[in-house]
Amino acid sequence: MMGHWIILPVVLPAILAGITVLAARHDLIMQRSLSLAGTAGFLAVALWLVLHADQPEAYRLGNWPAPFGIVLVLDGLSALMLVLLGAVALPVLLYVIGTEWDTRGQHFHALYLFQLMGLGGAFLTGDAFNLFVFFEVLLIASYGLMIHGGGEVRLRAGLQYVVVNLVGSTLFLFALATIYALTGTLNMADLAGKWAALPAGDQALARAAAAMLLLVFAVKGALVPLQFWLPGTYANAPGPVAALFAIMTKVGAYAVIRLGTLVFDQGPTAGMWQALLIPAALATLAVGAIGVLGARGLARQAAFAAIGSMGVVFLAVGAMTPAATAAALYYMIHSTLAGAALFLLADLVTDRRGTDRLDIARPPMAQGGLIAGLFMAAAIAMAGMPPLSGFLGKMLVLQALSVQAALVWTAVLLASFLTILGFARAGSALFWKAHASGEEAEAHRAEPLSFVALGLVLAGLAALTLAAGPVTGWLEHVAAALHAPEAYITANTLGERG
Amino acid sequence: MELLVAAAIGTLTAGGVYLILRLRSFPVILGLSLLSYAVNLFIFSAGRLAPGKTPIITKGVTDYTDPLPQALVLTAIVISFGMTAVLVLIAIGAHLGAGHDRTGMEDPPGPAAGEPAADGQEAGR
């Protein structure tokens, strides 16, 4: 029994964010302490929840019974996403403090905590409309973080980001209203029961609603053809914010896994998302790999690598089998950490070099050897070469999709090859060619905390590799529960009085 | 009445989509507002059109309309209101920084095709 612990990932950052805005707005040390305490507390609660989440458990807000009230439901997948979020957010926050990014604008820490609250809520909620609300919470915090530090180019990129997401939100509402009109409920577990029993006359509308929802999640998850907003946004966002955003694309994947396995793979929409996801995921993989090869800046390259990794995730999600879902979850953990590491590296490089452009020659950067080594580790992880977890993740995905080996294996392996080429080119342009000029490196602050933060993310990747056996074992258990959601549905105790 | 509401939602959506596709931030914001009006009406009609019925339990009343879409609409209105305010602020910031309100990332040399000629602020760049 987890009781009130379930709501803590939402309430804890919300309260601390409020205190940060109201009481500590002029006190940077206080802001940093509150935000560190909030993020560390979030991670601790998430770890506690993951240890106790062997059975799904619902938390009724205001003690109203489902489906009339809103419930938060904690199951293995939610707990996993919470831990992943905490594991990315804590190093990124250390990095922000180490590089003093939080002094370049106001209210960074409050927005950061609100971002955690929105993401935590989105992973926990068991109600589709509540999912929309938490999407908006995390988005509005992300708008603030994205334009943190200001600057004309960043504001214009931020404008595009906001517009794209507002269109996505409108589409989300259209889809939810259609689903409500058809079924009379928005509780996910209740929907799971009613979706298969829709009358024949409503089935076309049901398919339209499911397609609209998939579009919304495709915008969030940067699935081709709706990936166009991501490179501009991530490359122009502050480096550590882009690193935190590495988990934002996973919100789209999370929603597809949750609703795809629970509700939409039955009745009028059986097999529909799979049929749409697989070709789109293959195209995403291709766009990501070609983008990594062709990008002119390191941050942009990291953004395209993030798109490519979403391609692999959605490919495995689209198969909708327990083995493939487990592989998708493993690769999702890996690609979030690897993406965050790459964005942090791009920020370190930009800070020391003045630009992250690969085609502009600059003298060697301060601490160049250390950064080059870390870049090599992150690039190996992202491209999926041994010995890091990217290799294992891709192996699992390929193994799970061996039915369609000819097409899928070719695409994944070719994309990995292009990614390796792209990163090799970036590494040689940034770290080797710099020495051709014969100039000395410019002095720069040492910033040990930033390197510790980056080291923590990479240590997470190493731990994921070393503990691959137990982790995949647990993920298979989680995936099996997702594909047989009876326990999740009974946890909602639909229609019973509280 | 169904036809009227459906036509209103359709017209608002069409106008919103057209305006979102413009290349300047002001029409885009207007388009997003129109779209949010359309979706609010749409959510409202998801509870079926039932004029003159009460949504909240009242003594002596047996005929009710669905109250949930009305609560959903309220949430959607508040959220879209706040989002529009944020968007307007970001757009003003971008406009003041760049000297124009084009939504693209590149700076075209002259006025974009199909757009009105450069206004006074742009001439002053």
Please list the pLDDT of chain A residue by residue as tens digits (498 residues). Answer: 678 899 999 999 999 999 999 998 888 999 999 999 999 999 999 999 999 888 899 999 988 888 888 999 999 999 999 999 999 999 999 999 999 999 998 899 999 999 999 999 999 999 999 999 999 999 999 999 999 988 888 999 999 999 999 999 999 999 999 999 999 999 999 999 999 999 999 999 999 999 999 999 999 999 988 999 999 999 999 999 999 999 999 999 999 999 999 999 998 998 899 999 999 999 999 999 999 999 999 999 999 999 999 999 999 999 999 999 999 999 999 999 999 999 999 999 999 888 888 888 888 888 888 999 999 999 999 998 888 999 999 999 999 998 888 899 999 999 999 999 999 999 999 988 887 777 777 788 888 999 999 999 999 999 999 999 999 999 999 999 999 999 999 988 776 654
A59 beta partners:
A72
d(CA A374, CA A394): 21
Instruction: Choose the mutation target among A156, A161, A162, A180 for the interface with B, i.e. most B CBs under 10 Å.
Output: A156
Among the residues of A74-151, which ranges form H helices? 76-99, 108-124, 128-146
Residue A297: phi, psi to the nearest 5?
Answer: -130, 155
Domain map of chain A by residue range? 3-487
DSSP for A339-371, please give it.
Answer: HHHHHHHHHHHHHHHS--BSSS--PPPTTHHHH
The pLDDT of residue A445:
83
Residue B101: CB atoms within 10 Å: 22
d(CA A138, CA A40): 19
Residue pLDDT, tens place only, B57-107: 888 888 888 889 999 999 999 999 999 999 999 999 989 988 888 888 776
Helix (H, G, I), strand (E, B) or coil at B115: coil
Smallest CA-to-CA distance from A147 within B90, B78, B53, B121 is with: B90
d(CA A22, CA A201): 54
Residue pLDDT, tens place only, B9-41: 999 999 999 999 998 999 999 999 999 999 999
Helix (H, G, I), strand (E, B) or coil at A60: strand
| Cis peptide leading into residue A387 (ω within 30°) | yes
d(CA A110, CA A24): 10
> Residue B64 is which amino acid?
Y
Query: Residue B110 pLDDT > 70, yes or no?
Result: no
d(CA A378, CA A14): 33
The pLDDT of residue B114:
43
In order of start, what are the domains of chain B with their CATH numbers? 2-51+60-104 (1.10.287)
- Nearest CB neighbour to B32, from listed A147, A158, A163: A163
Give how far A7 is from chain B: nearest CA, Å.
21
CB-count exposure of residue A45 (10 Å: 0-12, 13-18, 19+): buried
Specify the residue for token string 């639909």. Answer: A494
Helices A152-183 and B68-98, axial angle in degrees (round to 10): 170
Smallest CA-to-CA distance from A144 within A108, A119, A193 is with: A108
Instruction: Choose the mutation target among B20, B65, B86 for the interface with A, i.e. most A CBs under 10 Å.
Output: B86
Helices A76-99 and A28-52, axial angle in degrees (round to 10): 160
The DSSP code for A434 is G
Residues of B in contact with A61 (CB under 8 A): none
DSSP for A153-215, please give it.
Answer: HHHHHHHHHHHHHHHHHHHHHHHHHHHHHHHS--BHHHHHHHHTT--GGGHHHHHHHHHHHHH
Smallest CA-to-CA distance from A345 within A399, A386, A301, A294 is with: A301
Residues of B in contact with A158 (CB under 8 A): 90, 94
The pLDDT of residue B15:
97
Element holding A426 (H helix, E strand): helix A405-427
Helices A389-400 and A405-427, axial angle in degrees (round to 10): 160
The pLDDT of residue B123:
37
Tell me how far apart the terminal alpha carbons of chain B are, to the nearest angstrom: 52
The DSSP code for A270 is T
CB pairs under 8 A between A and B: 93
- Nearest CB neighbour to A155, from listed B20, B39, B90: B90
Tell me how far apart the terminal alpha carbons of chain A are, to the nearest angstrom: 16
Q: Report residue A3 as tokens.
A: 């009781």
Specify the residue for token string 């403090």. Answer: A97
- Nearest CB neighbour to B43, from listed A140, A160, A173: A173
CA angle in degrees (0–180, nearest 5) for A243-A342-A329: 70
d(CA A338, CA A376): 12
Q: Report residue A498 as tokens.
A: 């509280």
Query: Are A280 and A219 spatial neighbours (Cβ–Cβ below 8 Å)?
Result: no
Query: Residue B125 pLDDT > 60, yes or no?
Result: no
pLDDT band at B112 (very low <50, low <70, confident <90, very high): very low
